[in-house]
């Protein structure tokens, strides 16, 4: 979901493999334009792509620049920009004025955008490489029938922790409430992921519509608040690598990078279960270049391109055919590709009803503040300052009037 990532690979291995993958791309007869041949003529079309930060191979560290390769093969230019959360993506789309042709939201946001008629139904005759998407990804709960989206990556959420400071084996989400780690705990800075952890501890559905369930989960998060060092997303890397924090939940694709970079960091999927997420390629209903956008999606479903892209991104691919073009060490890593027993303990997010979403947003704000009591104090302080400011203005106005009297 995800995510604004910093990819600090075991560069010697992966860069070498990436260069090999690029060579395969150049020699593969299945590609429409072979490397070294003349690029396709400029078609005078630019598509706007909106994706998570650092979530695409961009030519650095020996990787294939996939956007540049797409332009070279098709003559379609790419204007590529990034977002840092599903909610900021939604705000851009809902606010109007956004002119995107391809977006890559997470599962529950795909569901919401479908419900609000903000996505175009895909023409799969323009996406023949969809044949390579594994069957189990083709009829997702968040997009019944798979009519509006094509999976880009998938993964699970887990806990990683530093064994230099936490000697016991971590097996439960409850470790995030252990006062021995107070001040060294990080939490997600978004409501669905943070609430999910509390919900797994309480045995709830991640998609419950029961207000009491959400209130119970919020109470657990408020209880945790005094022990949390910070609510973060990207900053988790710096904080864990510098040992400023000892334990944190995050996404499997990034957890693997931290484990690779620090022998003291372990990754575990807690016994209570976890969120299984999919990020998917979609086309907004407002797109003015739908066919070219579908051509872009088709390009990313090509196994060679998908393999080269995932080698850099570090997340799990939804097409088995792409694994032939990926680093073997990555393909065999259970962090990227957990076993069936682990996957059986997962749940997928779907869109929540509007009234439930509003409740979750309110409860999340209260949890981060420490509860409605602290919110009330903050409001009182703001009102106090506002009252003083108004009093000063009134005083100055009266003084000016007295000064101007004849």
Residue 11, pLDDT above cutoff 50: no
Mean pLDDT confidence for 372-390: 55
pLDDT in tens, 337-358: 999 999 999 999 999 999 999 9
Bridge partners of residue 282, in order along the sequence: 103
Q: For residue 5, tell me if it sits in a domain.
A: no
The verdict on residue 1 lying in a domain is: no
Confidence band (pLDDT; 50, 70, 90) for 87? confident
Sort strands 150-162 and 274-281 into parallel, antiparallel or unpaired.
Answer: antiparallel
Spatial separation of the C-alpha atoms in residues 90 and 86, rounded to whole Å: 6
Say if CB 256 and CB 262 are below 8 A apart: no
Domain CATH number, residue 204: 3.40.190.10
Q: Is 4 among the domain residues?
A: no
Whether residues 21 and 109 fall in one domain: yes
In this prediction, residues 210-224 reach a mean pLDDT of: 98
Count of structural domains within the chain: 3
Residue 314 corresponds to which tokens in the numbers above?
A: 């570090």
Provide the CA 112 distance to its chain's centre, in angstroms.
16
| DSSP secondary structure string for all residues of 91-116 | HHHHTS----SEE--BHHHHHHHHHT
Does residue 269 register a pLDDT over 90?
Answer: yes
User: What does the pLDDT read at residue 25?
Assistant: 45
Six-digit token pair at 157?
A: 């959420």
pLDDT, one tens digit per residue, over 109-132 is 999 999 999 999 999 999 999 999
Q: For the chain, how far is it from start to end, CA to CA, in angstroms?
A: 70
Lowest-pLDDT range of 95-99, 169-173, 185-189, 311-315:
95-99
Q: How many CA atoms lie within 13 A of 392 on its CB side?
A: 6
Q: Place 399 in a pLDDT band, splitting at 50, 70 and 90.
A: low
**pLDDT in the model for residue 24:** 46
Q: Report the pLDDT value the prediction gives residue 15, as an integer from 0 to 100.
A: 41
> 383 falls in which pLDDT band (50, 70, 90)?
low
34 pLDDT tier (thresholds 50, 70, 90): very low
- Read off the pTM: 0.81
- The whole-number pLDDT of residue 233 equals 87
Q: Quick one: 253 and 364 in the same domain?
A: yes
> Who's near 371: CB < 8 A, 6+ residues apart?
222, 225
| Residues 178 and 301 placed together within one structural domain of the fold | no
Are 44 and 149 in the same domain? yes
2 within domain boundaries: no
CA-based R_g, the chain, Å: 24
d(CA 84, CA 4): 6
CA distance 134 to 151: 10
Q: In this prediction, what percent of the chain has a pLDDT beyond 70?
A: 82
Please check whether residue 6 lies inside any domain of the structure: no
289 with 232, same domain: the answer is no
Query: Does one domain contain both 39 and 118?
Result: yes
Dihedral, CA of residue 145, residue 150, residue 152 and residue 153, to nearest 10: 0
Q: Are residues 98 and 33 in the same domain?
A: yes
The verdict on 225 and 361 lying in the same domain is yes
Residue 354: the pLDDT is 92
Q: Assess whether 266 and 282 both reside in one domain.
A: no
Domain range for 251: 157-276+353-369
- Specify the higher pLDDT residue, 376 or 99: 99
Give me the pLDDT at residue 234, please. Answer: 81
- pLDDT score, position 257: 73
The answer on 182 and 230 residing in a single domain is: yes
């Amino acid at each position: 979901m995800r995510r604004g990532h910093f990819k600090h690979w075991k560069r010697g291995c992966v860069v070498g493999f990436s260069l090999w993958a690029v060579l395969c791309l150049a020699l593969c007869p299945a590609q429409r334009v072979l490397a070294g041949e003349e690029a396709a003529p400029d078609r005078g079309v630019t598509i706007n792509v909106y994706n998570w930060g650092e979530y695409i191979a961009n030519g650095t560290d020996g990787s294939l620049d996939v956007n540049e390769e797409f332009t070279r093969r098709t003559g379609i230019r790419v204007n590529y920009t990034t977002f840092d959360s599903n909610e900021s993506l939604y705000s851009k789309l809902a606010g109007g004025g956004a002119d995107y042709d391809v977006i890559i939201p997470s599962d529950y946001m795909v569901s919401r955008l479908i419900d609000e008629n903000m996505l175009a139904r895909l023409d799969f005759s323009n996406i023949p490489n969809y044949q390579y998407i594994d069957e189990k990804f083709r009829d997702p709960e968040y997009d019944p029938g798979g009519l509006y989206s094509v999976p880009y990556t998938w993964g699970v959420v887990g806990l990683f922790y530093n064994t230099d400071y936490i000697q016991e084996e971590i097996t439960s989400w409850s470790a995030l409430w252990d006062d021995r780690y107070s001040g060294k705990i990080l939490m997600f800075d978004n409501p669905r992921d943070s609430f999910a952890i509390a919900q797994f501890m309480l045995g709830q559905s991640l998609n419950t519509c029961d207000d009491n369930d959400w209130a119970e989960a919020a109470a657990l998060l408020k209880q945790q608040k005094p022990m949390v060092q910070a609510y973060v997303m990207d900053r988790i890397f710096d904080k864990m690598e510098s040992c400023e924090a000892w334990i944190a939940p995050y996404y499997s694709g990034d957890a693997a990078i931290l484990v690779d970079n620090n022998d003291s960091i372990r990754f575990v999927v807690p016994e209570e279960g976890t969120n299984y997420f999919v990020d998917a390629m979609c086309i907004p209903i407002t797109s003015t270049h739908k066919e070219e956008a579908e051509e872009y999606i088709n390009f990313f479903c090509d196994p060679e391109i998908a393999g080269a892209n995932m080698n850099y991104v570090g997340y799990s691919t939804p097409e088995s055919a792409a694994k032939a073009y990926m680093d073997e060490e990555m393909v065999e890593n259970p962090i990227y590709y957990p076993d069936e027993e682990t996957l059986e303990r997962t749940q997928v997010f779907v869109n929540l009803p509007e009234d439930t979403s509003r409740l979750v947003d309110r409860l999340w704000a209260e949890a981060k503040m420490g509860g409605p009591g602290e919110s009330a104090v903050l409001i009182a302080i703001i009102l106090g300052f506002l009252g003083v400011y108004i009093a000063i203005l009134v005083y100055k106005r009266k003084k000016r009037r007295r000064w101007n009297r004849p």
